[in-house]
Amino acid sequence: MNIRTEKLEDIEAIRQVNRAAFGRETEANLVDKLRGIASIFSLVAVQSDRIVGHILFSPVAVVGNCSSNFSILGLAPVAVLPDYQRQGMGTLLIREGLKECVRSGFQAVVVLGNPDFYSRFGFIPASRKSLGCEYDVPDEAFMVLELESGALQDCSGMVKYRSEFRIFDENY
């Protein structure tokens, strides 16, 4: 298995992975809308020359009190083809993606997801770091990971996702 940065020729395979993993078009459409935005990381998992997994990190903003040079990303989506799920591919994609975030100088990552799964990577409820989510979600499901120790010490406020994420509002 190989984890690498998305290439132009991967676009349709990434759409297929997201559609299969989520059973709908929404996440695939989101990835297409976010593609090309500065500061995104789009990685794929390749096995036997086939893309079997995908992960995307995109910029989010904190509306509140943070230093002007604070940089934070949102992790969404992470997708693995159903036949390859529960084999550690999602975990590998997340670990490699977080390493890329650190190498690129980002200080924190937020995620909206299963606390039992994401806590394995060090994510904690964002409320413990004085961050809230713009969406009405359970407190324990909106989590943050500091990539630099103390990065969120003087930061508080509401995390706002890019306007492209409103695609979910249109589908529910």
> Average per-residue pLDDT in the chain?
94
Query: Residue 67's pLDDT is what?
Result: 85
Give pLDDT < 70 ranges for the chain. 169-172
The answer to whether the CB of 79 falls within 8 A of the CB of 43 is no
**In the chain, alpha helices (H):** 11-22, 26-34, 89-103, 115-118, 167-170
Query: Residue 39's pLDDT is what?
Result: 84
Query: Residue 64's pLDDT is what?
Result: 93
Q: How many angstroms separate the CA atoms of 30 and 62, rounded? A: 21
Query: Residue 166's pLDDT is what?
Result: 86
Name the CATH topology of 2-170: Aminopeptidase (3.40.630)
Query: Residue 71's pLDDT is what?
Result: 94
**In 83-159, alpha helices (H):** 89-103, 115-118
